Amino acid sequence: MIVIAANSTNQLKSFTTAVGNVTAGTTYGFWIVAINYIGNGSPSNKLFVLAAQVPDAPVSPTVVATYNSY
């Protein structure tokens, strides 16, 4: 559970958070629930995120010489 508190004006406009221990190539689901002194709000729709993977190194190019006669 991640808890984000409002700023001094009691308005939270945006936030950034980091989730530890993710595995590349794995899809994770997140949703947000507002919590205040009255209680919990309804959860947002679930957002699915695919953790990025480091791409393979590019392969060296090859050159093929051909001779064309006319």
Kindly tell me if the per-residue pLDDT of 15 is higher than 70: no
In this structure, is residue 8 part of a structural domain? no
> How are beta strands 35-36 and 39-40 bridged, if at all?
antiparallel
In this structure, is residue 13 part of a structural domain? no
pLDDT digits (tens, 9 = 90+) for 32-70: 887 777 888 888 899 898 988 888 888 998 888 887 766
Residues 6+ apart with CB under 8 A from 54: 24
In this structure, is residue 35 part of a structural domain? yes
Q: Are 51 and 26 in contact (CB under 8 A)?
A: yes
In this structure, is residue 44 part of a structural domain? yes
Provide the domain count of the chain. 1
Instruction: Name the least confident of 3-7, 14-18, 56-60.
Output: 3-7
**Mean pLDDT, residues 23-35 taken together:** 86
Maximal CA-CA distance, the chain: 86
Domain with 34 in it = 21-54
What's the pLDDT at 70?
A: 62
What's the pLDDT at 10?
A: 62
